[in-house]
Chains A and B, each alone.
Chain A
Amino acid sequence: AQTVTQSQPEMSVQEAETVTLSCTYDTSENNYYLFWYKQPPSRQMILVIRQEAYKQQNATENRFSVNFQKAAKSFSLKISDSQLGDTAMYFCAFMKTYNNNDMRFGAGTRLTVKP
């Protein structure tokens, strides 16, 4: 079974600074997808960034980037130039590329961006 671990329950960062959220996972699969989702107080789950395991290049979406280390089974999220609107719960998620494709989530990291 796949497990996803986020070891930082809460983090805070000053506006305009950079913060990195950690995620590790455990799997015997070779092909899979990894995601970071954001959940603001509105409860809506918003996809932030995604990464295919077979791609060595780290994904980037504007201010969001990942550091994907497949051998270490690590998938951290870096948020640059933090904004107040980035305040939310962030979930790391794992999905197999076949079979049911259900998504497994980490426990989440509550990020607060301070003005």
Chain B
Amino acid sequence: SAVISQKPSRDICQRGTSLTIQCQVDSQVTMMFWYRQQPGQSLTLIATANQGSEATYESGFVIDKFPISRPNLTFSTLTVSNMSPEDSSIYLCSGGGDFYGYTFGSGTRLTVV
């Protein structure tokens, strides 16, 4: 199964600024997904990223706030824009798929102060 390197692992950011999270996959994957996980809670899907097309966002998440890039089949970024303390969370990317399930990055713990 694919291996995903995610960075940064953690960051502390000022409100009003933006942070870009990167995920690099060691093999080509068709679909990549971005999740948000509040401490002690489950994973909530933010968006699905296909190479060569715009990301598809879940209800409650908008492109202006969480722009996503997917320039090729091994890389994706998620930007958290104009951050507020409510954006403090863990952000995870995943990729792969089919019966073998998805591999996840190690997550980015974001704190907005």
Question: Which residues of B have CB within 8 Å of A35?
Answer: 101
- A76-115 at interface with B (beta carbon < 8 Å): 91, 93, 95, 97, 100-108, 110
Report how many residues on chain B are interfacial, defined by Cβ distance under 8 Å.
24
A-B contact count (CB 8 A): 53
Given known A102-B48, A103-B94, contact A95–B101 (CB-CB < 8 A): yes
- With a CB–CB cut-off of 8 A, which chain B residues contact A104? 45
Contact of B42 among A47, A52, A102, A106 (CB under 8 A): A106
Query: Once bound together, how far apart are the Cα atoms of A24 and B101, in whole Å?
Result: 19
Contacts of B100 in A (CB 8 A): 50
Q: Are B45 and A50 in contact (CB-based, < 8 A)?
A: no
Q: Is the CB of B101 within 8 A of A42?
A: no
Q: Which of A33, A42, A45, A107 contacts B99 (CB 8 A)?
A: A33
A44 touches B45 (CB 8 A): no
> Interface SS of chain A: helix, strand, loop or mixed?
strand
Q: Is B79 an interface residue (CB 8 A)?
A: no
B92 at the interface (CB under 8 A from A): yes
Is B104's CB within 8 Å of the partner chain A?
Answer: yes
In the complex, are the beta carbons of A100 and B101 less than 8 A apart? no
Distance, CA A45 to CA B4, complexed state (A): 11
By a beta-carbon cutoff of 8 Å, the part of chain A in contact with chain B is 33, 35, 37, 42-45, 47, 50, 52, 91, 93, 95, 97, 100-108, 110
